[in-house]
Chain A
Amino acid sequence: MITTLYVRGRRLLRRVMTRPRIDLPLASGLLLLLAVGLVTLYSAGDGGFSLVGGQAMRFALGGVLLLLASRIPPAVLRSWTPWLYAISTALLVLVALLGEGRGADRWLNLGVMRFQPSELLKLTVPMMVAWYLHPRQLPPRWKDIAMVGLLIAVPAGLIAKQPDLGTALLVIAGGVFALFLSGMAWWRMGLMLAAMVGMIPVGWHFLHQYQRDRVLTLLNPESDPLGNGWHIIQSKIAVGSGGIFGKGWQHSSQSRLDFLPEHTTDFIFAVFSEEFGLLGVVALIALYAFIIGRCLWIAMEARETYSRLLAGAIGMSFFVYVFVNGGMIAGMLPVVGVPLPLISYGGTSAVSLLTGFGVLMSIHAHRKMHD
């Protein structure tokens, strides 16, 4: 028993270590994005190398995880999926029971490092949905949709309770996109959407006061000069004053004078917009669009349902990051803790994103060779 496990482990390890499985277009897009991220962070962090160095270390860690993930065949990943999902959800429950964090209980203290299990769910939820839909008749019927809804709702509910609305949103997006890509009928989606709009007043009831405040200050930012209103006003000034061509690298006065809060993390896009202007913004968004498009391309080339759905969902949820973060700094969406992917300072999200792209690389390597 143990020897067979050992042999199989060795075989797996050999496969993982030997074959390079990198999709060049996706890899170059990502590398370019990482470079933009470090350059922007250097400027937003007042020209110090301590932030940039730390971020680069995280990128390196993410890169290693990407390479490792890229060598796990999708079929193997699929067989692990229920376990990964169960473990990550169990960790969430653990956090709920004994987590620590400031204001919100999101972290598990592992002694050496603190670790945010909700990050794992960004990957395991779409994996689980894809795993569930893989052997089933597609497009899915109500029964399957309900089951998928449950698979999404349990971890998302736990995360929203932490409370971490941003991550919950991304987890839900991952699962819902998988459902969308599986071919769920348009009329069913319309019906669900209508139901959700109907639920908005109920959901409002369950929001924390600070979350409601964030939505309300969006409508009237001037009412709250000490809290979130300040964030929105300052962020809009930064973006607007950037103009078409921007003020130039390291010339963001809003960030320099500390008018802009959290300007290395959630609001780094505002610094970017101020320094590089509309042209920079368009270029960056085009880069994101390219990466998302490439992900969907890889998904279309994939051999089986699981890979297709997973690759597509990971690519599409990348869009949610960009849209929610961009909408927030442009004063279009409420202040929700969603980082600008691979540019905002902060480790866990960069590492989990790069791991997700590793899965995409693996799916790409196992694509069907003809169609």
Chain B
Amino acid sequence: MRRRRSIKDNRDESALFRRRALAGFLLIVLGLCGLVGRFFFLQVLHHQEFVTRSQNNRVKPRALPPARGLIYDRNGVVLAENVPAFRLEVVPEQVKHMSAMLARLSRIVPLTRDDLDTFKKQVKQSRRFESIPLKLHLTEDEIDRFAVNRWRFPGVDVVPYLTRRYPLGGLFAHVVGYVGRIDADDLKRLDPVRYQGTSHVGRTGLERSYEDLLHGTPGYELIEVNADGRTQRVLETHPPTPGKNLYLSIDVRLQKAAEKAFDGRPGAAVAIDPRNGQVLAMVSVPTFNPNLFVNGISQVDYNALIDNPDKPLFNRALRGAYPPGSTVKPLLGLGGLVEGFRTPQDTVLSTGVFYLPGHKRGYRDDVRGGVGIVDLVQAIEMSVNTYFYKLAMDMGIDRLSQWMGQFGFGRPTGIDLVGEASGVLPSRAWKAAHSRQPWYPGETVIAGIGQGYWAVTPIQLAHAIATLAGHGVPYAPRLVMATQAGQDAPRKPLPNPPSGPSLIHNAADWDTINKGMEMVIYGAKGTGHGLAAGFPYLIAGKSGTAERFSRTTNAYNNDKNSAYLASRHRAWFVAYAPADHPQIAVAAILEAGAWGAQDAGPIVRKILNAWLAAHGGVIPGAGRIPSSAASAVGIPPIDAVPGATPAAGATGATR
């Protein structure tokens, strides 16, 4: 049979096929006999047993959805809780004509299109005896009206359930987020067994990123049914495991103070503990009421949010990318020291304008005529552009972006929220990907003062300042500090190890930058002069006034109208305290601020005040400034700050 044949032999092949077909048929008959044998085993040998089980088969399992985990602030203040509410549920097998019933029902209890779509989808995916939610969060009025008409709707019932409530409303809308009703799209991706009987799923914020922990595991009860399938009694209950509770590192008091400091003006602020990356406050102003979304937001409410020009739904802290302006100067200065381009003693002459060799276009300082010879500390104190223009040129764009990249710019910080923006870290690679033009030296110059392609989110800047404050050790920002399995269980801390090695090898480098940032606050010519008045611990800070538009001429602009400036500028202020033992780092942006220190500075100060108050006015491990010393420096009270900013005649600045 296996001899080699040069041409196809149809007769041989036919015979071969015949044998194979017979063998195949024999195997098939054998297989079918095996199958019949199995049926014989079930239907004859074990017949009696299964008859008994069939007759006793009056027990069906019913899923018990778990209670969603609660969310607290670091001190146990409730941020998200479950409250009882009522919903309409339908058991499909008890409804004769579904569409007719729904039409009649909608005349008594209004049903939206979403309600119906989700319901129909869920009916398809469930067993017919399972109760499917139709409309959530019934009003008292709807419950009453249905109660009167209930006899007309067999298989439809009002059922109590737990719904989500956010007692602090908008204060945590951009952090905790909200849950929403499970819709047809969710059904595709969610595990149907785990979500049996559950009506809500995390949509945004922590509710979404910690969905897995918050949801819990469903239990079930075995219910006895009669011959028509109606429930008679519950035989056995296997309770569900509730979702884990979450404890945030945020302190409600700081959060409130931060939100209040903005006074409704659009902006964002983030405070981070540099020792571990824990987020202490995170606000985006304006905000919205997350409770509106839980049981389906009305079209009117939704349009009001969407049409608001200040975009309350937009999470500025997480997704708003702005040019960082001068706030990058201390970080860049540190790079100059660490990478060996500068010593603390090196000086630069500021003449008011900086020219690249062979170029006509000038790059300006804030102060017309310049401020003379400055070293690094002074350059940070007075935010001298020329110093950083030169430093950026000496480093070159590649080393600059490599160094700044280590602070986490240009990529998500890894905070435990979904949807973080990456921002832009200027680099040749970025430009090559977004433009056909080559990299120009002038772009390196302005990258040195946080302008040009730069774009950072408040969370990124807070993370970078926290990394600096923590002596160069980076931690990914974390909102959730601990979890808890059940109300009385101990809190289990979530570990957050450093996300990389320290950026600083020589403590003296850090001291120089820290000195410069202290001088911003305490120096006579510091841009943030006076911001620390009355604060008992050392603050180190830096202002940033970023331009929204690029300048078209070299001319100074003499328009000092602050409303005009506010429309052109974004005001940043970053700070950490206590400077000798940093335990909080803050970054705040006011979208329409005229000057960084003047407009964003007080916001940061109010957050620091709240932080100090939350600690009872005493920060362990840090040196207290004697109150007499503070006044000896001649620091004016905070209200007098506008006079302290050397704003005369200078615009287009990045102070």
Binds A, one of B48-56, B170-178, B469-477: B48-56
The number of A-B residue pairs with CB atoms under 8 Å apart is: 155
Q: From the candidates A103, A225, A242, name the one contacting B43 in the complex (CB within 8 A).
A: A242
For window 4-62 of B, CB contacts with A under 8 Å fall at 5, 8, 10, 13-14, 16-18, 20-21, 24-25, 28-29, 31-32, 35-36, 38-40, 42-44, 46-47, 49-51, 53-54, 57, 60-61
In the complex, whether B193 has a CB less than 8 A from a CB of chain A is yes
In the complex, whether A137 has a CB less than 8 A from a CB of chain B is yes
Do A183 and B20 touch (CB < 8 A)?
A: yes
Closest to A371 in B: B14
In the complex, whether B128 has a CB less than 8 A from a CB of chain A is yes
A13 to chain B, nearest CB (A): 31
Instruction: Count how many chain A residues have C-beta atoms less than 8 Å from C-beta atoms of the other chain.
Output: 61
A350 to chain B, nearest CB (A): 20
Residues of B within 8 A of A138 (CB): 8, 13, 16
Q: Give complex CA distance A326, B31 in Å.
A: 11
Do B47 and A137 touch (CB < 8 A)?
A: no
- Scoring B29, B54, B128 by chain A CB atoms within 10 A of each residue's CB, the highest score goes to B54
Do A102 and B43 touch (CB < 8 A)?
A: no
In the complex, whether B127 has a CB less than 8 A from a CB of chain A is yes
Residues of A within 8 A of B38 (CB): 326-327, 330, 332
Q: From the candidates A139, A185, A258, name the one contacting B129 in the complex (CB within 8 A).
A: A258
Do A299 and B21 touch (CB < 8 A)?
A: yes
Do B43 and A244 touch (CB < 8 A)?
A: yes
Residues of B within 8 A of A249 (CB): none
Do A282 and B36 touch (CB < 8 A)?
A: yes
Closest to A105 in B: B188
Given contacts A102-B188, A300-B18, A330-B39, contact A241 B50 (CB under 8 A): yes
Residues of A within 8 A of B63 (CB): 226
Residues of A within 8 A of B24 (CB): 177, 180-181, 296, 312, 316
B624 to chain A, nearest CB (A): 58
Main secondary structure of the interface of B (DSSP, over half): helix
Residues of B within 8 A of A236 (CB): 42, 50
Do A323 and B39 touch (CB < 8 A)?
A: no
Residues of A within 8 A of B54 (CB): 237-238, 240-241, 253-254
Residues of B within 8 A of A135 (CB): 8
Binds B, one of A36-44, A63-71, A78-86, A273-281: A273-281
Given contacts A135-B8, A261-B127, contact A296 B44 (CB under 8 A): no
In the complex, whether B187 has a CB less than 8 A from a CB of chain A is yes
In the complex, whether B220 has a CB less than 8 A from a CB of chain A is yes
Q: From the candidates A103, A182, A296, A330, name the one contacting B35 in the complex (CB within 8 A).
A: A330
In the complex, whether A214 has a CB less than 8 A from a CB of chain B is no
Given contacts A243-B44, A316-B28, A327-B38, contact A226 B2 (CB under 8 A): no
In the complex, whether B144 has a CB less than 8 A from a CB of chain A is no
Closest to B24 in A: A316
Do B13 and A240 touch (CB < 8 A)?
A: no
- Scoring B42, B50, B53 by chain A CB atoms within 10 A of each residue's CB, the highest score goes to B42
Residues of B within 8 A of A239 (CB): 39, 42-43, 50
In the complex, whether A145 has a CB less than 8 A from a CB of chain B is no
In the complex, whether B227 has a CB less than 8 A from a CB of chain A is yes
Residues of A within 8 A of B187 (CB): 102
Residues of A within 8 A of B114 (CB): none
Given contacts A226-B220, A258-B128, contact A292 B25 (CB under 8 A): yes
Render A123-157 as a binary contact track against B, CB cut-off 8 A, 1 for contact: 00000000000011111000000000000000000
B609 to chain A, nearest CB (A): 52
Render A279-291 as a binary contact track against B, CB cut-off 8 A, 1 for contact: 0011001001100
In the complex, whether A293 has a CB less than 8 A from a CB of chain B is yes
Q: Give complex CA distance A331, B38 in Å.
A: 9
In the complex, whether B263 has a CB less than 8 A from a CB of chain A is no
For window 347-370 of A, CB contacts with B under 8 Å fall at none
Residues of B within 8 A of A288 (CB): 32
Given contacts A239-B39, A330-B42, contact A296 B127 (CB under 8 A): no
Closest to B63 in A: A226
Show 18 A/B contacts (Cβ-Cβ < 8 Å), sorted by A: A137-B8, A181-B24, A183-B20, A225-B61, A226-B220, A237-B54, A240-B46, A240-B50, A240-B53, A240-B54, A257-B229, A258-B127, A281-B36, A281-B39, A296-B25, A304-B10, A323-B35, A371-B14
- A-B complex: 5 closest residue pairs judged by Cβ atoms: A240-B50, A241-B54, A240-B42, A183-B16, A241-B50
Given contacts A285-B32, A292-B25, 20 further A-B contacts (CB under 8 A): A102-B187, A183-B13, A183-B16, A225-B61, A226-B61, A226-B193, A226-B218, A234-B57, A240-B42, A240-B46, A240-B49, A240-B53, A241-B51, A257-B225, A258-B128, A296-B25, A305-B17, A308-B14, A316-B28, A319-B28
